[in-house]
Structure formats: structure tokens, C-alpha cells
Structure 1
Amino acid sequence: MKNGKVWLAGAGPGDPGLLTVKAKRLIETADVIVYDRLVGDAVLSLIPCGTERIDVGKTSGHHPVPQEEISRILLKEAQKGKKVLRLKGGDPFVFGRGGEEIELLSSHQIPYEIIPGITSAVAVPAYAGIPVTHRDFCSSFHIITAHRKRGDHSLPDFDTLAKLDGTLIFLMGVSALEDICKGLILAGMKAETPAAIIESGTTSRQRRVVAALDTLPERAKEKSVSSPAVIVVGRVCSLENQLAWAEHRPLHGCRIVVTRPKNRASSLAERLEILGAEVLLLPSIQTKSISPNPVFLETIQNLDHYQWIAFTSPAGAELFFEGLHRAGKDSRCLSAHKIAAIGPATAKAVLQYGGLFCDYQPEAFTGESLGNGLSERLLPSDRLLLPRSDIATDQVLKPLIRKGISYTDLPVYETKYQPFFPPVLTPDDIIAFTSASTVRGFVSRMKGCEGMTALCIGEQTAEEAKRFQFETVVAKQATIDSMIEALICYHQERKKKR
């Protein structure tokens, strides 16, 4: 095709878990992504580093890229033959001006698709424990924009709205909150009608203020509520105290950056999200099998020279067995070997990729503990094979050298710093590091991290983080479970101090 194509997709209200499957796939495959301010940071972190980004974000009263120019950008990029994703907060056709952008594309015969998104008008109240409909209170809900065209200062038709006897949901109305509440009361709505304003709904920054209609503006001002926020008016707001759930999760209010390699980040990220954290995925390293690797091929042809094989990471186990299979061998060639793993995650990888249970795992999941344990178990005549990273530390080696244990340090994968698009971080954000190399990869791209908090899987990782002036929270054991436990304790203590 001479022209490319445009997909106009809703990104939802902020929580990346509310992104549609189709929108996520397009984020991963588009050539260029044009996005606005209301697309959540966690959603933006899903954009591959090599994808071209065009920020056309608008804030109240400040439109650096006018709407007409946004439409022209979409047209221009599509005419270059690109796959263009226009990513808009919420749903593109719910006060998102999506229709205007499609009109220009249609007039130039540019192919396009519309991917609906979850609108904040429904999702944000739901995250605050407010159902927009309820049989005991109302049977309809109405979405109103408080933001008019430039130069139009008119207010909604409050006389009609006050008579609807349904839930009223106002979008883009923070600056007009007082006018909205006064207008509804003057139109006949009771001053004691329950109402709410929910700031940054579905994200770690979500806050809700619930009050009577006549006092909501004052209460919101006391709490310094700012946009983006959704205003809800109606009797359903009285249910928020009974049904609220999002803000009661143990990690609500916590925004954490996960720096693990992309193919290993999901287990940690998913568990953090379930506990209420907002997760930004910023892989700072990538692991890749060394290929060609003649030393590896030579070594596996002589596996009978070794009595023990010790794995120091899940990646080492995975890529060792992958290399074994590529060479036409399987785990039967290891039937006479003893297998060791540095910790439970690595032991799980050995079982998953090699079908083997480990013979030894140290009580403390560190390289030093593994080295000490092996040096006590190997006979003087035994030889040890260590398949691991090309930049692995010597922690595991020092005890072996002291005991005179014969070993072969076999690099099976290389660790490289992963480029990423640097986000705007705040002093309250927490960076999760699962190795010293993730620390180095992160700081190679991000500047000004001094004083930020680093969640570290172990002391070695923490020492590396301290070198770059991070404040550290260290897991008691080198496991994901222990990292999460440490994070929950830290977050709860931090909330008590505020």
C-alpha cells in the first residue's frame, strides 16, 4: 500500500491492566505512536524503545499542539506508509475528539480502525467503590463534559440535568467544580445530594473526596485536588465507604519501576499490580545467548570431565539447556552429574528447562553461600562447571579458589544494557533491582536518581545501588517473595509517617 494506516485506540484511564488486548498488540507493533497527556505512564512504559513517539499532550489552558495539527500529524505519518497508532486516554469517542481526527483521514482515503477503550467515566468511579447505576438508587447515568470549545464559556444545562434522577458524571471539570455544584443546586437538586471527585483514578495516585453537593468544592480545595479528576453526583456516591477497594490494597499509593529483563519482568510486575502498585516496566538489561559459542560446544562434548554443574541464575539454566538441545543432546547426558542452584527461582528453571531436580541449594541465596556450600561438598578430585553470564561476579569463585576446587567458568549468555525511553520520575517512586547489572543499566540512562529509593534483591545489589547514592530497601532473602514482603513493610511505614 502506498499509504499506511491509522489505528485510533483508547488507552483506558491509566491502569495498564485496563488496556484492551488489541491496543496492547498495536503498541508493540506500531511504527509511530501519537499520544496525549492522559495516557498513563505505566501504559507508555509498554512502548518498545525503538518505536517513534510523538507527544501531543494537552493540559488545561495549555495546548502546545493544537487539535488541527494533531490531525495533520496523523495524516502526514500515514502518507509516509507507516503504521500509526493514535493513543488517547479513556475512550477516543467519549469527549476524546476522535471523530475530528478520523474525518481528516477519511477525506484523504487513509485506512483506519477504531479500538474503543475503557472510559474513565465508568472505570474511575468503579475503582473508588461507586457504581454508576444501582437498582436502589438510579437506573441511568449521564456523562457530561465541563470543557467547552475554545472561547465558549457556557455551562451545562443544569435545569435538565437536575431533573434526570440519574448519576451525573462530569469529565474535565476540576476548574469548574464550584460552578457545577452551584448550578445543580440552583436548578433544584438537593444540597445534601452525595457527590464525589476522584483524582488520578485507577493509578497509584488515586484519591477520592466524597461530600454533600454543597460542600464538595470546599472539601476538594482543602485536599488540593487537581486534574485529571472525575466528578460524580448522585445517591450512588453514598456507597463508596462500603464498596471502596482500590485504595485498601497494601501497595496502593506505591509506584515502582521494574528493571528486570523484559522476558523475566512479568512475574514480579503482575504480583505488584495485584497488591495495588502502579508498575512501570523499564528493562535496563537484556540477556542473550552467546552465539556462536565454540567454547560451549567444546565443553558439552566433554561433560564427563565434570562431576558437578552449578547454576547461578534462571537465565543461565535456560540458555545452558537450550544450547544443549541445539547440539543434539538432552538431560540424559547429565545423569551422572550433581546439580546445584543458587536459589529457588534458578532451581525452578533447571526443572523447567532440563527436567532435573537440584541436589544442592544453599540456605542463603547468594553467590558466596553457593561457593561455600560447593567447596564443602566437592571432593578434591571433582570438577565443577559454572554456566553463567559473561559479566558474572567472582562471589561464587572466591570460596572455590580458597579450597582449591577445580572449576570451569563457562559464559553461556551475554548481559547488555537495554536502552529505554526515560520517564519522568518523582522522589516517591521506587526502583526495583534484581541484580547489580540492572542497577548499572538503569543509571546509564537515568540521571538525577540520587536519594531515590531502590528495592534490592540482596546485599550485593544493594551495594551497587549505594554506589549511585540510592537509599536502599533490601530483601531478607534473595527471592521475589522476599522483595515483595520488604516493599510492603517499607510502604506501610512510609504511609504512617505522612
Structure 2
Amino acid sequence: VPGVTSSIAAPALAGIPVTHRGVASSLTIVTGHEEPGKEAPLDWKAMAGLGGTLVVLMGVSRLKQNAAALIAAGKPADTPAAMVEKGGWKDQRMISATLGSIAEKAKASKIESPAILVVGEVVRLAEKLGKKRIAILRPAHQQKESAALAEEYGFSPIAAPAIALAEKPLPEDLMKRISSVECVAFTSANGVNIALKIPGISSALAGKMIVAIGPRTRQALVERGLEAEVPEEYSSSGLERMLRGKCQSILFLRSAQGSRYLSQGLKEAGLFVDDIPLYDTVPSGDPRLDELIMMIRSVDIFAFTSSSTARYLVERAQALDRKEELFEALAAGTVAAIGLPTSQELDRLGIRVDVMPEKFTFEAMLALLKRWVER
């Protein structure tokens, strides 16, 4: 905004008010990189004793020296400090530490100019007032709803579709295979949306026990006039317990890339299991994913909703020669995964998983993430 100095605007955008009742009532702004040979250098001793908030502009190259000078002048080394990089840009990011450790953390985080240093108790308020940036990697058609949910839970969403859906040719004997089983299972709302477009399928499903893996899948079925049962536990054993005494044969309608751990477990339990993939998940080719990768260090949380979102994010980062930066950001941020197959794929890729909700829904993930960041 014209007329608003970066010394106030950049911290505010990171959730740091430079003054706050009961915390800081004054603000001091100085440059961190003076002209060589200047006769009257900065009086760090005076600034160390002022109290309130200190903002140091252009302070990246001399961050270590400036922090050391403040500490030597009497500023406690455990004073909260933060670096705000590229304030107001799409790839803005903020790191926080103490005055004694901020230089080391900035180096490890590869903070670059333009960035400002904020020193004072107001830095602690960023945890309450700042919004964590969450990368949403779901297909484009799910982004609007997902972003709205993320905002409801207090996050700042970044839309970056990593995958798209490509419908597969249907087998000629589809209706025959549906008629030959007692139960039909849908593993995702995407599968429901694709299946219910098939002419005659509603009639073919009449009289069948319908299973939905997850409440969102069930909701998609209910919206189309079909009742479905949802297992209490999203596992092969949980599904087998629900089906016990009700049916001995089941057909899964799902993604071609979907995990087969449910169907394999049911086969081992003695059920007849059929499987028809309705769609492939393919790389999205969405430019928003490339934008995310180029600003990857500004992301706080990565929300992986399927194994393919993880796989294609890594593949695209590698294609853009940004795989190292991606893995650094993943290590520094919070990684959330929906479902065991997604968690296993992340583990295979060498990515640590921090959060995995018991319920396989995006909202359950957000609720758990909210508790995680507030802990």
C-alpha cells in the first residue's frame, strides 16, 4: 500500500503488530547496513535499552553482527526475534527464534534479501495472529471448497492442484459384474461422481448394499438419492466386521491408483472381491503447482490427500530442478496425510509425516492441524 512503510507492513502481514497494548508501546526503526566509513555509527547500546519493538531494515548481510552487537550492548539473548522475508509478496515467509539464535536459523532457512529483522515481545503474537500457509494439492474442482474450509479453520490456503482426474474406458461387462455381487463399495466422492454418470447404473445398484469409505463419499451418494453404510474403522478389518453376515461378495469402484489394501484384506478374510478402476489420477499440468514450487520455502503446511499428490509434487519439483528446495521446505514445515496409503507413499519418498487424522476427510485433517499448530 503506498505510504505504508515496510517496517510496519511486513511484520503486520506476518502476524506481528509492531505495537500492542500490554506488550510494546514504542517502535524504533533503524538500518542494518550502513554506508561504509560513516562517522557516527549506530548506537546499539542506546537501542538495547529502549524497550518496545526494534525493526532493523536491510539487515540480512549483517544479521549475525547486528544481533551480536545488541546482545553485547545489554539486550537479553533470549529476546524474541523474527525475520520477515519478501513482505507482501506471494512467497513471503517468516521465521522466528531468539535474538541469540536468529542469525543461525536465518542461515539454515536460507533467508535472503529483502528481509527485515523484528526484535521484541511482539514476535510472540505471530503465533496467535499470523495465519499458517497451507498448500492444498487436490484436483482443481475441489480447490474452492477446500480453500473455504481451510480459511474457516484459520489457515491461509494456497491452491496448487498436483493431480487431475482422467476417466477410464468402462469394461463391457460392467453391469454384469455389478449384478453378480451383493455389495458395491465407493472409495471416494470422485468415484461416485464418475460412476453415477454411467447410464443405467442407478438401476443396477438397486437392492445392493452400498458402502462408502468416508463421510464425504457417503454424502456424495446421499445427494444422488443412494443410502450407504460407512465402516467405523477405515481398514480392511473394519470393513470386514461391517460386512460380516451381510454379504460375501463385493465390487470396488475406485481410482486406478488407489491402494488395494482394503480389497486384499477382504480376500484374505474369504470374501469374493472384484475391482473396477473408474479413473486415473494424472499430473495436473496446472501452472499454480509450478508457482507453489518456486515459492516453496514460504509454505508452512503441506496437505497430502492421496499418494498421487505426494508423488506428482515431488516429480514436478524434480523436473523444475527444485527437489532439494522442496525437501528442505517439507523438513522445516508440517506434513499432513489422509490415509495409510498416502502416509506410506510419503515414507517411501523419504518425507516425514506429522499429522494423520483418524477420519479420512479433509476437514478432519484441518481440525487436527489446528490443534497441532496451537499445541
- TM-score normalized with structure 1 length: 0.49
Contact 1:252 / 1:275 at 8 angstroms: preserved in 2?
A: no
Match of 2:131 in 1: 253
Match of 1:316 in 2: 191
Matches for 1:16-165 after TM superposition, within 5 Å: 120=1, 145=2
Q: In the aligned structure 2, how far is the partner of 1:308 from the partner of 1:411?
A: 16
Match of 1:68 in 2: none
Equivalenced residue count is 273
Matches for 1:72-471 after TM superposition, within 5 Å: 120=1, 145=2, 170-171=3-4, 173-174=5-6, 197-199=8-10, 205-210=14-19, 215-217=27-29, 219-221=54-56, 228=87, 252-290=130-168, 292-293=169-170, 295=171, 297-301=172-176, 303-323=178-198, 327=199, 329=200, 331-352=202-223, 354-358=224-228, 360-366=229-235, 368-369=236-237, 371-373=239-241, 376-379=244-247, 382-419=248-285, 420-421=289-290, 422-426=293-297, 429-446=300-317, 447-448=323-324, 449-450=326-327, 451-452=331-332, 453-471=334-352
Q: In the aligned structure 1, how far is the partner of 2:145 from the partner of 2:263?
A: 30
Judged with a 3 Å threshold, the aligned counterparts in structure 2 of structure 1 residues 397 and 226 are, in CA distance, closer, same or farther, namely: closer
Judged with a 3 Å threshold, the aligned counterparts in structure 2 of structure 1 residues 223 and 412 are, in CA distance, closer, same or farther, namely: closer
Q: Aligned-pair distance for 1:268?
A: 2.5
Contact 2:240 / 2:269 at 8 angstroms: preserved in 1?
A: no
1:482 to 346, 353, 364: 364
1:300-358 C-alpha deviation (Å, 9 max, x unpaired): 255332221111111111111112xxx2x252432211111111111111112x31111
1:31-68 C-alpha deviation (Å, 9 max, x unpaired): xxxxxxxxxxxxxxxxxxxxxxxxxxxxxxxxxxxxxx
Partner amino acid, structure 1, of 2:187: T
Q: In the aligned structure 1, how far is the partner of 2:25 from the partner of 2:298?
A: 35
Q: Which runs of 5+ in 1 are unaligned?
A: 1-119, 121-144, 146-169, 178-196, 230-246, 494-498
Judged with a 3 Å threshold, the aligned counterparts in structure 2 of structure 1 residues 492 and 330 are, in CA distance, closer, same or farther, namely: same
Q: Aligned-pair distance for 1:249?
A: 9.2
Contact 1:256 / 1:430 at 8 angstroms: preserved in 2?
A: yes
Partner amino acid, structure 2, of 1:350: L
Judged with a 3 Å threshold, the aligned counterparts in structure 2 of structure 1 residues 387 and 330 are, in CA distance, closer, same or farther, namely: closer
1:91-132 C-alpha deviation (Å, 9 max, x unpaired): xxxxxxxxxxxxxxxxxxxxxxxxxxxxx4xxxxxxxxxxxx
Partner amino acid, structure 1, of 2:132: C
Partner amino acid, structure 2, of 1:462: S
Q: Aligned-pair distance for 1:201?
A: 5.0
Judged with a 3 Å threshold, the aligned counterparts in structure 2 of structure 1 residues 213 and 308 are, in CA distance, closer, same or farther, namely: closer
Partner amino acid, structure 2, of 1:208: P
Q: In the aligned structure 1, how far is the partner of 2:25 from the partner of 2:372?
A: 37
Q: Aligned-pair distance for 1:387?
A: 0.8
Q: In the aligned structure 1, how far is the partner of 2:150 from the partner of 2:128?
A: 10
Partner amino acid, structure 2, of 1:389: S
Larger radius of gyration: 1
Q: Aligned-pair distance for 1:436?
A: 1.3
Partner amino acid, structure 1, of 2:144: S
Q: In the aligned structure 1, how far is the partner of 2:202 from the partner of 2:208?
A: 10
Contact 1:454 / 1:465 at 8 angstroms: preserved in 2?
A: no
Q: In the aligned structure 2, how far is the partner of 1:286 from the partner of 1:364?
A: 28
Q: In the aligned structure 1, how far is the partner of 2:370 from the partner of 2:227?
A: 32
Q: In the aligned structure 2, how far is the partner of 1:225 from the partner of 1:334?
A: 56
Q: In the aligned structure 2, how far is the partner of 1:284 from the partner of 1:457?
A: 15
Q: Aligned-pair distance for 1:298?
A: 2.3
Q: In the aligned structure 1, how far is the partner of 2:83 from the partner of 2:137?
A: 33
Match of 2:99 in 1: none
User: Alignment identity in percent?
Assistant: 24
Q: In the aligned structure 1, how far is the partner of 2:349 from the partner of 2:298?
A: 15
Partner amino acid, structure 2, of 1:256: I
Judged with a 3 Å threshold, the aligned counterparts in structure 2 of structure 1 residues 208 and 307 are, in CA distance, closer, same or farther, namely: same
Partner amino acid, structure 2, of 1:220: V
Q: In the aligned structure 2, how far is the partner of 1:362 from the partner of 1:251?
A: 39
Match of 2:69 in 1: none
Contact 2:18 / 2:27 at 8 angstroms: preserved in 1?
A: no
3-state SS in 2 of match to 1:470: coil
Q: Higher relative contact order by CA 8 Å / sep ≥ 6: 1 or 2?
A: 2
Q: Aligned-pair distance for 1:375?
A: 5.3
Q: CA RMSD in A?
A: 3.0
Q: Aligned-pair distance for 1:410?
A: 0.8
Contact 2:15 / 2:129 at 8 angstroms: preserved in 1?
A: no
Q: In the aligned structure 2, how far is the partner of 1:429 from the partner of 1:457?
A: 17
Contact 2:184 / 2:251 at 8 angstroms: preserved in 1?
A: yes
